[in-house]
Structure 1
Amino acid sequence: MATEGQAPAVDAHAHVFTRAMPFAADAHSRPDYDYGVDAWLADLDRYGIAHGVIAAASLFDDGNAYTLAALAADPRRLRGTVIVPPETDAETLRAMADLGVVGVRLAWRRVDELPDLKSDPWRGFLRRIADSGLHVELLSRSVSLPHLLPALDATGVDLVIDHFGVPARDPMERHAATDALCRAIDRGRTWVKLSAGFRMPFEIAAEVTGRLLAHAGAQRLLWGSDAPFVNHEGDTRFADTIVLYRRLVPDPAMRAAIDRTALALFFDKESSA
């Protein structure tokens, strides 16, 4: 059962929203239900998870008001990321950080042409993110990682990579992307989320998890539920994500170390340096 053993300390990746929020013009999905912060907190309580990190959903573009209100309502328990345009100034980023924002999400999984990070507005934007004590939360296709991760790392910004790096079904592409993740981890500013494993074959999730654990241990890994499982609502429950996590990382001591990584990174930033 999902309740057996120690619960994760932090759900490092979930989306919260209501039907009243306007969708982005190019939203790839349009959920017709609410999964508000109260519903997510109820799930966390049900499974004994103490803390959570809201991942900004690209479905709503840069509509961050709901996330910011949720963070302000429970600053001890919650952190979050936002999606903002690259022209966003440092004062705005710092004000969001004061409310519990820990990162800026770059949702580039469905972007055909990635921007030139060496040119403005991106060069200045990434510098302002780093100067504000925030990380970049990156969602991008695995084929992009071998060249995108070094370019982001060169800016000096911390990186949190979503969904195992979105590993490809193609073995060569997947192996090259995981190699790139390992190199980025070695450079000292990158973490990877074991999140949304239900969106890929178990064997692929297990392969990438095994390589990352062997290469870096738990010190650069995080776990997230990806609730409410957009496009998989009918076949995935919150409990299933915990069961899957325990299959991927069966050692309780390793999972406890991943907990410490998440707590340090999101809730006690100084101790993660």
Structure 2
Amino acid sequence: MVTDDRSPRVDAHAHVFTRDMPFAADAHSRPDYDYSVESWLADMDAHGITHGVIAAASLFDDANAYTLSALAAHRDRLRGTVIVPPETDAGMLFRLAAQGVVGVRLMWRRVDELPDLSIDPWRGFLHRIADAGLHVELLSRSASLPTLLPALVAAGVPVVVDHLGVPSRDAAERRVGTDALVRAVETGRCWVKLSAGFRMPFDTAAEVARDSLERAGPARLLWGSDAPFVNHESELGYGDAIDLYRRLVPDPAVRAAIDRTAFDLFFNQGC
């Protein structure tokens, strides 16, 4: 598969939903609009993007039905992650994998106390995720990464870290988080998404992207738009997200290599 250097070919992080979907009780935002899978595909088509990965959204907790229906309708182009409780059995995880699910999203960005991943139910859950051929999609902040990433890697489960590891605005804390990211990447079991850079100062996003490229390389990086940019809809469009990515990764050859990483990881095909 040939990659056009002018644009990314894989959007590895976007959310799709309709206004009819039930919000989680603790949803931090409640969008009053639809961003259907058809809307996302239209945005992708308009910018030459051929494949995508739906990221489960915390706003809807474990309401995965819409994601699964989107995967069923567009299996050639899409993969997705889901939110499920840690008691989920192996059979269910294997059935989800057969439907185009590639990962289970764990979100500890807004928690005060991190779970102990070395004991059940988490220990068994992580093993079942790995056995089903899925990865953990981790959303957590810089300060938590030195605790969470070694535990996840030790459990033997592949990890994809969202949003540049949600870097802290505090330089020392951000450095600790980036160092933990790089150490996890060096194990060969971890990838980092260059996504949601618009949710942080550009200099912060550029610093983490630069460090990740220099220390991890494009074989461990992914790009995602984070469409439809919840809470930033009036400031950003899909093309703007791509422009930001090009500012963070100006070399088209490096962007092409990041595309290859996404195809290999999510679609098991070279490009």
Other-structure match for 2:77: 77
Cα distance in 1 for partners of 2:250, 2:217 equals 13
Q: Name 2:228's counterpart in structure 1.
A: 228
The AA in structure 2 aligned to 1:241 is A
Residue 37 of structure 2 aligns with an amino acid whose one-letter code is V
Partner of 1:33: 33
- The aligned residue for residue 240 of structure 1 is 240
Cα shift at 1:231: 0.4
Match runs of 1:33-112 below 5 Å: 33-112=33-112
> CA–CA distance in 2 between the matches of 1:193 and 1:84?
21
Alpha-carbon distance in 2 for matches of 1:217, 1:120 = 34
Rounded to whole Å, the distance in 2 between the matches of 1:211 and 1:7 is 22
Distance (whole Å) between structure 1 residues aligned to residue 122 and residue 101 of structure 2: 20
- The residue type paired with residue 66 of structure 1 is Y
Residue segments in structure 1 that go unaligned for 5+ positions in a row: none
TM-score between the two structures when normalised by the length of structure 2: 0.97
Provide the rounded CA distance (Å) in 2 between the counterparts of 1:46 and 1:72.
22
**Distance between the aligned counterparts of 1:6 and 1:79, measured in 2?**
23
User: Using the alignment, how far apart are the partners of 1:75 and 1:112 within structure 2?
Assistant: 38
Distance in 2, matches of 1:171 and 1:116, equals 27
Task: Show the counterpart of 2:190.
Answer: 190
3-state secondary structure, aligned to 1:102: strand
2 CA distance for matches of 1:134 and 1:5?
Answer: 29
Letter in 2 for 1:204: T
Pair 1:210 & 2:210 matched: yes
SS at match of 1:95: helix
Native 8 Å contact 2:5 2:255 kept in 1: no
Secondary structure of the corresponding residue to residue 111 of structure 1: coil
CA distance in 2, matches of 1:75, 1:43: 18
1:185-244 per-position Cα deviation (integer Å, ceiling 9, x unaligned): 111100000000000111000000110111121000000000000000010111111101
Aligned 8 A contact 2:5 2:253 in 1: no
Runs of 4+ in 1 over 4 A off after TM superposition: none
Structure 2 CA distance for aligned equivalents of residues 90 and 111 of structure 1: 27
Percent same amino acid among aligned pairs? 73
Aligned residue number for residue 20 of structure 1: 20
- AA partner of residue 122 (structure 1): W
Cα distance in 1 for partners of 2:250, 2:7 equals 13
1:247-266 deviations in Å (ceiling 9; x for gaps): 11000100000000000000
Partner-residue secondary structure (3-state), 2:114: coil
Gaps of 5+ in 2: none
Amino acid in structure 2 at the alignment position of 1:55: A
Equivalenced residues, count: 267
**TM-fit CA distance, 1:115:** 1.1
1:55-107: per-residue Cα shift (whole Å, max 9, x none)? 00000000000000000001010000000000000110000100100000001
How far did residue 5 of structure 1 move?
A: 5.4
Instruction: Provide the secondary structure at the position in 2 that maps to 1:183.
Output: helix
Matched residue type, 1:26: D
1:164 aligns with 2:148: no
Equivalent residue letter for 1:90: A
Over the residues paired in the alignment, what is the CA RMSD in angstroms?
1.1
CA shift digits 1:22-76 (9 cap, x unpaired): 0000000000000010000000001010000000000000000000000000101
Deviations 1:136-164 (A, max 9, x none): 00000110001110011100000000000
Query: Counterpart of 2:210 in structure 1: which amino acid?
Result: G
Corresponding residue for residue 200 of structure 1: 200
CA distance in 1, matches of 2:45, 2:107: 29
Inter-partner Cα distance in structure 2 for 1:37 and 1:80 = 12
SS at match of 2:35: coil
1:262 aligns with 2:265: no
The answer for the alignment partner of 2:117 in structure 1 is: 117
